[in-house]
Structure 1
């Protein structure tokens, strides 16, 4: 039985809106000063994480999912791709306004296994930072007309955010992260994006990025509705756990540790991102130092584990 956490190397994605906070704040060795994303727990073919420790060191998470399904309590007849993807995004500039399809549309139109429902935990935000979440159109016809006419100020719904905020973004929700915001994103393992508006930006050759207005209009939820989140807090030892969201795709909690706690594994496996402080993780007599910017999986088969220190985590499960 596998008796230690699976630590993962982040995979970096350069973006025209990216910056350098992944280096200055998280001390990652980023490829450039326009690094927008760190895919920190990923089995997606566009950026699979590599395992850093243990018997599977050097394998990708995708390879482990395929050849060692027991680590995730995966049934032998489960041919689905690894279901989740965790990222840190550094928005030095505004991201494009976009929308993602649901599973049915993604499979039928794009031939990929998953659509994209996601959620964001705001790690950092400049004063008065805002993002786009939803729209003001009442009908599909209104939506398509306002998009065609470029009435973006009237169409798009803007929301101010600050560190510690949590944003839930179901598939079909028009959205965009604004400049000056750093988020940890938990999402279905999908890279399918329909770009709605990109502020008429051009690249070094004067070309604008492609828009996908027809597909975007087809998948956008109209009218926009704000989902109700039943967020619950629980305390175990010196650990306070706040469940942020739980749906058919994933559950996400924020954990705050001030001292020591022993936990029993209840999920098939846990994905853990350390977002503040440092701590020691003890599993089966082995101790592992973890700190801000560390990401790991507690695989199936670990029955109990201990955390000690002063730290905050975002934890997710299937």
Structure 2
């Protein structure tokens, strides 16, 4: 099924790219820079904000709870229970995002009662010519150094200590939990991540969220213990990229194998078709028009700007036509802290 936009208000500005991409009217308020697609995840401490509504008006979370085997399939349920185990977003950076970090599964298990942290990955759809992401510290830093930067908001020093990575349309980059990062202005991307809204702000000056909202209610003494303070050398940065061939025609895996315990994403370029195995997944059409043909459901015409939700029960699918798309899906592995 095609999904309508789901744009909870955020603390940083967009630039209208989501609404342009989807061919819908943009609000006067610029603070709608994200579209949560097929979401059964709420904003942190703001439920039910963030949950996706289906075309029939019901919540996807309720639909999955009512028919988990049809939506998710037996292998997924054996690994994750009735949780789809993924969150997919469109993200439109109308300004540089603040430097922040997400906890890993071990930290989330101990401090947040969650089996999931927030490893994420970015598939770049549009980017300004000089667009960059800040990703990881370029050299080892001490806990005292990080705490001082954050407490005194010495943002220039923090940013200077990070790697600035140029990105272009078509790039795909994994951002492991714990790694400090900031998406630069002028980037429009598809983000795939673990199904949480856990963010720890290292920077807040100039953003609507302040220090009280930046530590997940844990206090900064605890929250900052999840920060990866080790150097991310060029070789380590390179390990976060790398597409892989698929054994299915018209399909290429977008991330290196370090993403496999968390999620997967594929670029679909029909040749003459892209073949999709049965799985709960999100398809974001980025170019052209095509027909999505499920094994157990009527065909669906899709075009650039559409987001389609595929349940496991739809069976095998093919994408046919002059189009490109990004497919995001969970991986059938049990999360382990």
* TM-score, normalising length: structure 2: 0.80
How far did residue 117 of structure 1 move? 0.6
Aligned to 1:24: 20
Instruction: After TM superposition, list the pairs within 5 Å mapping 1:38-117 onto structure 2.
Output: 38-45=35-42, 46-52=49-55, 57-70=56-69, 71-74=71-74, 75=77, 79=81, 81-117=83-119
**Which whole-Å deviations, capped at 9, do the CAs of 1:251-304 have from their partners, x for residues lacking one?**
11112225x326352x54332211222111122472211012222232223333
Aligned to 1:253: 266
- The DSSP-based 3-state class of the residue aligned with 1:106 is helix
Measured in 2, the distance between the counterparts of 1:270 and 1:244 equals: 16
**Which whole-Å deviations, capped at 9, do the CAs of 1:36-87 have from their partners, x for residues lacking one?**
10112211133111222xxxx3322211221111121154896553311110
- Native 8 Å contact 1:81 1:113 kept in 2: no
Indicate how the Cα distance of structure 1 residues 9 and 215 shifts in structure 2: closer, same or farther if over 3 A, else same. farther
Measured in 2, the distance between the counterparts of 1:172 and 1:116 equals: 9
In the comparison of the two structures, how many residue pairs are matched?
302
Q: Quick one: which of 233, 241, 252 aligns to 2:252? A: 241
- The DSSP-based 3-state class of the residue aligned with 2:3 is strand
Indicate how the Cα distance of structure 1 residues 140 and 28 shifts in structure 2: closer, same or farther if over 3 A, else same. farther
- The DSSP-based 3-state class of the residue aligned with 2:35 is strand
Q: Quick one: which of 211, 214, 224 aligns to 2:221? A: 214
Indicate how the Cα distance of structure 1 residues 215 and 314 shifts in structure 2: closer, same or farther if over 3 A, else same. farther
- Native 8 Å contact 2:131 2:168 kept in 1: yes
1:8 is the counterpart of 2:3: yes
Aligned to 2:45: none
Which structure has the highest helix share of the two?
2
Indicate how the Cα distance of structure 1 residues 221 and 109 shifts in structure 2: closer, same or farther if over 3 A, else same. same
1:291 is the counterpart of 2:303: yes
The unaligned stretches of length 5 or more in structure 1 are 1-5
Aligned to 2:125: 123
Which structure has the highest strand share of the two?
1
1:271 is the counterpart of 2:276: no
Measured in 1, the distance between the counterparts of 2:95 and 2:211 equals: 15
RMSD across aligned positions (CA): 2.6
* TM-score, normalising length: structure 1: 0.84
1:166 is the counterpart of 2:166: no
Measured in 2, the distance between the counterparts of 1:147 and 1:262 equals: 47
Aligned to 1:37: 34
- Native 8 Å contact 2:252 2:266 kept in 1: yes
Aligned to 1:192: 198
